[in-house]
Structure 1
Amino acid sequence: MRLSLPTRSAILAAAVAAGLALSAGPAAAQKVVRVGIHGADIGSLDPHMSAQTIDNVIHAWIYGGLVRFPAGTIDPSRIEPDIAQSWTKSADGLVWTFTLRPGVKFHGGYGEVTADDVVYSLQRAGNPKTSAFASDFKSFDKVEAVDPRTVRITLKTPVPSLLGLVTAQRGGYVISRKADQEAAGQYTSKAIGTGPFQLEEYRAKQFVALTANPDYFRGKPKVDRVLYRFIPANESRDLAFRSGELDLFYGRKDQRWVDRMKSTPGLAIEVFGPGELRLINLNTTMKPFDDIRVRRAVAHAINRADFVKFVGADVVSPNPSVVPLGYLGYTDQVERFAYDPEKSKQLLKEAGYPNGITIKVLGSNRSFVEPYQLLQAQLAKAGITMELQLIEHTAWHAQIRQNLSAMVVYTAARFPVADIFLTQFFHSASAPGKPTAVTNFSHCDVADREIDAARVEQDPKRQLELWHQAQQKIIANVCAVPLFDEDQVWGRSTKLEFGHELKASISFGPMLTEQTTLK
């Protein structure tokens, strides 16, 4: 199946029209970073409610957390103060006390951040009614404001990385209690954070405009505004950059795109982490995947080398496990399923399908179609017919959480500790309909014991062993077939300097900070 693309002239006309509309007026005299993102619209500017890349990128420019990764890295050993200036923990790891930095102000005149705002934010992040990340906080017993500048977190059980939960990302973002209560459920129009840029205007399916935060505690940003434009079509973003309408844009995780765009004048290609692991998740609750022989048939039908060659060695790395490369707790000591279509056919025959099987698969229209086509071709050689239906991205997210797809091809990264990835994708608590779910389409429970035990294990060596065992069980049970890790790929004008070396970004997009400059 191939997507039809608009004609080149239509794309260019649309891009130019959008560019003219956004560059008119007083903003033209300012230093404006124009960003092109790959979605049709924002999901939510509420940082506790969305796990979509398109939202994560802009959240990181608006919000802060108690702690943060230094810009350009996701190394847990380098986590540093953000809204908090210091912290301590008890000997048993159950009580953490954070002292807030004085003078950190919310956007829009909402005043200085207090312990009450932090308590409110963390309690909100841990509530499944107000957060997509509630399961991350299930080990929290209580969060208290000791005084206006001191927050105490008490855990029921130790967690692998408490700082990871309160860092500036996802559920760790701090919001204003007053602003949230005033928003009354309309948070996208009332996004109030503490970061270097603040919300100026949101136009549905057009753009989000941000302005420099004059009260940012690290100093006012050197650029005045950021225009975050929604440009879903890949060619439209490329053309918009070439015509001088973008300074930064979401690229393609595709070697051919990288090679083709390298010759573009004034363009720098940024390839950075974290790598997002692409998995073929199998719905073990649906026939025929309730039979492990069928799941093993799928595993033997996949030729990872072809995928790596097709997508490109500059942007992907093969990965045999179900945790992204480089995460604390990762192991490659798992069962390997050699590419063997004939063995797949034999397994299907043993399972009662001598003539092969047909499966219906939902795919996101935001994903690249070509890898789906490669997957279809590989499965077909093994007697597995994949009927693919591409649907709108938001609808796809909703429907895979309703058990409507036998197979889910999903790409994701999380805080770089194995626990979070294993819990969200391969623990029974993340099964469809469970209030503790985040990804909400796990169909695996074979490693619950190891995942749970590792979360509270105090011996680091034993904790690693448990995470390794969990991965080994999940792979052996074929809850998913891992393909590869794919890095983030963006295009940047050489006139734009981030102000830091970009090796990785927990938001999956470049960080725009107070040090970012535009010539």
Structure 2
Amino acid sequence: MKALRTALLASAMTLAAAGAMAQSGPTLRVGMAAQDLGRLDPHFAVSTIDRVVVAWMFNGLVRFAPGSIDPAGIEPDLAERWESSPDGRTWTFHLRRGVQWQGGFGEVTADDVVFSLRKAANPQSSAFSADFRAFDAIEAVDPYTVRITLKENVPSLLGILTNYSGGFIVSRRAVEQRGADFARNPIGSGPFALDRVTPNQSAELAAHTGYFRGAPQIGRVSYRFIPSDASRDLAFQNRELDINYGRADQTWINRTRQVPNTTVDAFEPGELAILNLDVTKPPFNDIRVRQALAHAINRPELVRFRGQDVNREGQSLVPRGYLGFTNDVPLLQYDPNRARQLLAEAGYPNGLTVRVIHTQLPEMLAMMQVVQQQLRRAGITLDLQVVEHATFHQQIRQDLSPLVYYSAARFPVADIYLTQFFHGRSIVGTPTAVTNFSHCNQADQQIDAARVSTNIEEQRRLWAEAQRILVQNVCGVPLIETLLVFARSNNVDYGYDLRGSMSLGPLITERTRLR
């Protein structure tokens, strides 16, 4: 009898877990420019392809309001409230009770939060560990209370803990049980749970009907991998897709706007594209070569090529709109004659050729080919070695390319962009590597001082000084800032006004519906 009761209980638990993922509404079909997924462990989701879908499955302690990237609008997520000590070094977060993991993995507790943040802070288990450098201790006070102690002040602790990158909270039990398989079989607490992945075809998600904000109105999301722009556009025009990953290209936007019952959304954050130049290796260890390259870039032409509706000139090595951005920097202006003169002075009177690793991702490849043409006019030839996108990310982090075209958006505070791309601790190929491909460290003092300052005006001054130093040393050449673009059928109601998304795609929530 005891065995029978145990079996019945196990069966009931299995049915309850399945029921929490049962389809209870229509299927939303999303087309993505991808061959396949990468890693769905949110602490390793670095590509746009992975970031978009991870945000549908996981929560942070706090979150950006759906449709916004305004740090002033950060609101409760898994934490219902929090407080900090007067010196800003100790933060206490109080969790919602009863929040359930997907797949029958139980309740979200402080133990999960402590495990997640320690995991995110460990370079062996996270691509975002540098964001947690100032963390001293993370501890569970009780099952629903987490205390974080900092070694030093940070510009925005809440920003680190949002539903973005390292701030996502994972199930400790699921990570420990699944090990390496967690990256393709994750468990979150968000409105949608991964059902299955068909390689090179799609990721299928089911509604998490036990979601703490309420059961989603969408029953399933079919996230389809269609790398060909033409094929994806045709599928959208034939209404085989409800949402389509767009191209930040004026021709594409104008054509897609003519599709009946279609809305094209262009939204923040603007991804800033930069040519990162390795200042430690030839030919870019000579500042005259770096200056020549900077003079060869025609930013207005790049904007015209991509389209003015969703593109704007880069003005610094931090995107505009970020707290701490300044355009008071000594950007070298387009002057191909001066570029050739500098090359000759550096010992390259007949020009030079640089072997560069680059991604086959269509938008980035097309843009790099325009840059290639601009540089050729000034005597700089780029020998592009085009590789698959995941291989590109792997190889540039192995310090295999002296020039790296990188387009990125980050939490909109200058500290994070400057730290990840231009601080000495972040130089690729080092134990604390992030994405410093230029090997520049000239502004470390200003970046570090701004981070710990409690005076916002002092922070702004230091961030501006750091940008001026980096631009003067031509550690990187800003190209353009590109807004994110997705098209949707007018029967798709996101449930909010899409003005911005830190996940780099539309956030699909419990309120999203098909009308």
Is the structural similarity TM-score above 0.5?
A: yes
Within 1, Cα distance between the matches of 2:502 and 2:323? 15
Counterpart in the other structure of 1:422: 418
Segment drifting more, 30-39 vs 289-298: 30-39
Which of 365, 372, 375 aligns to 2:371? It is 375
> Partner amino acid for 1:43?
G
Within 1, Cα distance between the matches of 2:97 and 2:409? 33
Within 1, Cα distance between the matches of 2:460 and 2:476? 21
Which of 233, 241, 247 aligns to 1:238? It is 233
* 1:146 aligned counterpart, secondary structure: strand
- Write out per-residue CA displacement over residues 287-332 of structure 1, whole angstroms, 9 at most, x where no aligned residue: 1100001100001111111001111100111122011110001000
TM-score under structure 2 length normalisation:
0.94
Tell me if structure 1 keeps the 8 A contact 2:25–2:217.
Answer: no
- Write out per-residue CA displacement over residues 333-366 of structure 1, whole angstroms, 9 at most, x where no aligned residue: 0002121111111111111111111111111000
Number of residue pairs matched by the alignment: 493
Tell me if structure 1 keeps the 8 A contact 2:36–2:200.
Answer: yes
**Cα 1:367–1:451 shift into 2, 3 Å:** farther
Unaligned runs of 5+ in 1: 1-26
Segment drifting more, 179-188 vs 84-93: 179-188
Residue 430 (structure 2) pairs with residue 434 (structure 1):
yes
Measured after TM superposition, the shift of residue 28 of structure 1 is: 11
Tell me if structure 2 keeps the 8 A contact 1:179–1:190.
Answer: no
Counterpart in the other structure of 1:498: 494
Tell me if structure 2 keeps the 8 A contact 1:122–1:174.
Answer: yes
Residue 190 (structure 2) pairs with residue 195 (structure 1):
yes
Tell me if structure 1 keeps the 8 A contact 2:24–2:219.
Answer: no
* 1:151 aligned counterpart, secondary structure: strand
> Partner amino acid for 2:161?
V
Which of 432, 447, 472 aligns to 1:476? It is 472
Measured after TM superposition, the shift of residue 371 of structure 1 is: 2.2
Which of 315, 321, 344 aligns to 1:326? It is 321
Tell me if structure 2 keeps the 8 A contact 1:35–1:246.
Answer: yes
* 2:247 aligned counterpart, secondary structure: coil
Which of 53, 56, 66 aligns to 1:58? It is 53
**Cα 1:65–1:356 shift into 2, 3 Å:** same
- Write out per-residue CA displacement over residues 250-299 of structure 1, whole angstroms, 9 at most, x where no aligned residue: 11011111011111112211100110001111111221100001100001
Query: Displaced runs of 4+ in structure 1, greater than 4 A?
Result: 27-30
Residue 390 (structure 2) pairs with residue 404 (structure 1):
no
Counterpart in the other structure of 1:393: 389
Within 1, Cα distance between the matches of 2:461 and 2:217? 47
Within 2, Cα distance between the matches of 1:282 and 1:433? 15
* 1:184 aligned counterpart, secondary structure: helix
* 2:149 aligned counterpart, secondary structure: strand
Within 2, Cα distance between the matches of 1:231 and 1:376? 27
Measured after TM superposition, the shift of residue 435 of structure 1 is: 2.6
Segment drifting more, 480-489 vs 182-191: 182-191
Counterpart in the other structure of 2:341: 346
**Cα 1:28–1:194 shift into 2, 3 Å:** closer
Segment drifting more, 363-372 vs 248-257: 363-372
Unaligned runs of 5+ in 2: 1-21
- Write out per-residue CA displacement over residues 225-252 of structure 1, whole angstroms, 9 at most, x where no aligned residue: 0011111111111011112210011110
Tell me if structure 1 keeps the 8 A contact 2:438–2:476.
Answer: no
Counterpart in the other structure of 2:443: 447
- Write out per-residue CA displacement over residues 464-496 of structure 1, whole angstroms, 9 at most, x where no aligned residue: 111111111110000100011100001101111
Counterpart in the other structure of 2:215: 220
> Partner amino acid for 1:490?
F
* 1:271 aligned counterpart, secondary structure: strand
* 1:347 aligned counterpart, secondary structure: helix
The CA RMSD over aligned residues, in Å, is: 1.3
- Write out per-residue CA displacement over residues 181-215 of structure 1, whole angstroms, 9 at most, x where no aligned residue: 00021113431111111111112221111111111
Within 1, Cα distance between the matches of 2:347 and 2:80? 63
Counterpart in the other structure of 1:24: none
Within 1, Cα distance between the matches of 2:413 and 2:436? 19
Tell me if structure 2 keeps the 8 A contact 1:433–1:440.
Answer: no
Tell me if structure 2 keeps the 8 A contact 1:427–1:442.
Answer: no
List aligned pairs for 1:262-277, cutoff 5 A. Answer: 262-277=257-272
Within 1, Cα distance between the matches of 2:361 and 2:244? 15
Tell me if structure 2 keeps the 8 A contact 1:321–1:471.
Answer: yes
